[in-house]
């Protein structure tokens, strides 16, 4: 017995009030789905329920089963559409998701995590995972590298623990990490995933970017002027079960550079799709490269240690700022009314009080939350490292 399974993933870039041409792009994405023949569709950055409903209502005849994964303050932005009944769905939110005071980034408010759904296709149990890791806002000085690394580790553990009975496992989404980056190496070494891109023929691999590409209308002009080639951060990764054999038949970017009869692209990311042939075979044991895994885990543990030391420095800084602001507040009590404006001194005191509250929370509750999340990830990595004979590396 064998089946074919076709999956698509796309970051839709649906940020309210920020993203451009959201409504026409969402309608165009829905139209493409109706005209195509995917078994499962994984979308990210569908940030509003109205956009999800727009797509769902348009594709319901082709994809009767769908699910939006609610999380955080504004929602995870992740949703799936399926031809097959969703047997199980689950969302695991990561403990580290950026910072609450970084309003301009917004990742914390999304409550990002890893979404899972299970479908049965002609007797084959298939686990589909989709996710959207913490964004990389500055590659030269990435303040979220450790957060993203722990998200990748958490994702790998979650997939390992929930996919043991699956005949086929696939992770499709925007992982916000390029091949060779530490989070990418960690995820691949922990799971033994195969990257569909690497199994594609040469024509399908060109162009290889999925974001900030030179042919995308939403790529920043500064990058175009530098002739930036784009980056590959969207993936379809897969594994076969112990009693199945999987062959990747086709990998491609199914969407044109422009929406038909329009001057804009479908998103600032490129959609990718892969078709797999899944068949039964005698049981076998998957072999992981334990040496590579041990080296990557050691590097990640060192990264956690550095992050923990940075947290200690941040705690000291915020305590110092709290004390300094408190002394400043005390000094305003004896201060004469400046410029004969009594309201001004009250405004200053209110501002200082807010700042004291912020620095106090950052020095105490928030510092401990991040510290405990880092320690939890580090200790789990150490457990994994002890399983490897190369743990001394």
Helices (H) and strands (E) in the chain, counts: 11, 12
Contacts of 10 (CB under 8 A, 6+ apart): 29, 41, 42, 43, 44, 234, 255, 266, 267, 269, 270, 271, 272
Which residue numbers are catalytic?
Answer: 269
Contacts for 335 with CB less than 8 Å, ≥ 6 apart: 345
Q: How far apart are CA 382 and CA 376, in angstroms?
A: 10
Alpha-carbon gap, residue 195 to 179, rounded angstroms: 10
How far, in Å, CA of 191 to CA of 50, rounded? 35
Strands 124-132, 113-121: parallel, antiparallel or unpaired by DSSP?
antiparallel
Question: To 5 degrees, how large is the angle CA 176–CA 177–CA 178?
Answer: 130
Using CA atoms, how far residue 4 sits from 67, 85, 110, 121, 384, in Å, is 22, 17, 34, 9, 34
Q: What is the maximal distance between C-alpha atoms in the chain?
A: 88
Comparing CA positions, the residue from 379, 305, 360, 361 lying closest to residue 95 is: 379
Residue 340 φ then ψ, to 5°: 55, 35
DSSP label of 4: E
String of DSSP letters for 180-215? TSHHHHHHHHHH-PEEHHHHS-HHHHSS--SBS-TT
How far is Cα 231 from Cα 156, in angstroms, rounded to an integer?
22
| DSSP alpha helix (H) spans, the chain | 22-35, 49-59, 107-110, 145-162, 182-191, 196-199, 202-205, 221-225, 290-333, 342-363, 365-386
Distance, CA of 180 to CA of 213 (rounded, Å): 19
């Amino acid at each position: 017995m064998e089946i074919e399974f076709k999956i698509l993933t796309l970051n839709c870039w649906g940020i309210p009030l920020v993203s451009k041409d959201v409504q026409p792009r969402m309608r165009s994405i829905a139209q493409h789905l109706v005209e195509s023949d995917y078994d499962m569709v994984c979308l990210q950055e569908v940030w509003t329920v109205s956009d999800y409903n727009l797509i769902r209502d348009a594709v319901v005849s082709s994809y009767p089963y769908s699910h939006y994964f609610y999380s955080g303050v504004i929602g995870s932005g992740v949703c799936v559409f399926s031809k097959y009944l969703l047997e199980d769905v689950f969302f695991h939110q990561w403990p580290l998701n950026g910072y609450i005071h970084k309003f301009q980034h917004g990742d914390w408010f999304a409550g990002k995590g890893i979404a899972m759904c299970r479908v049965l296709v002609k007797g084959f149990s298939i686990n589909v995972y989709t996710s959207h890791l913490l964004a990389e806002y500055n590659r030269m000085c990435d303040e979220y590298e450790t957060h993203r690394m722990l998200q990748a580790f958490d994702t790998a553990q979650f997939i390992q623990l929930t996919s043991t009975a699956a005949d086929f496992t696939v992770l499709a989404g925007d992982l916000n990490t390029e091949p060779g980056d530490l989070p990418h190496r960690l995820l691949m070494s922990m799971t033994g995933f195969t990257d569909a891109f690497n199994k594609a023929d040469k024509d399908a691999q060109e162009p290889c970017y999925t974001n900030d590409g030179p042919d995308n209308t939403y790529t920043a002009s500064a990058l175009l002027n530098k002739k930036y080639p784009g980056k590959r951060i969207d993936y379809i990764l897969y594994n076969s079960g112990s009693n199945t054999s999987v062959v990747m038949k086709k990998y491609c970017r199914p969407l044109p550079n422009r929406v038909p009869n329009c001057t804009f692209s479908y998103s600032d990311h490129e959609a990718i799709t892969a078709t797999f042939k899944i068949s039964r075979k005698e049981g076998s044991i998957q072999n992981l490269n334990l040496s590579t895994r041990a080296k990557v885990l050691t590097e990640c543990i060192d990264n956690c240690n550095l992050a923990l030391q940075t947290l200690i420095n941040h705690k000291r800084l915020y305590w110092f700022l709290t004390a300094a602001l408190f002394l400043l507040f005390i000094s305003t009590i004896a201060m004469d009314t400046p410029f004969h404006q009594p309201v001004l001194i009250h405004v200053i005191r209110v501002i200082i009080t807010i700042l004291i509250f912020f620095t106090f929370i950052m020095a105490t509750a928030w510092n401990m939350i991040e510290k405990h999340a880092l320690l939890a990830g580090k200790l789990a990595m150490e457990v994994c490292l002890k399983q490897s004979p190369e743990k001394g590396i």
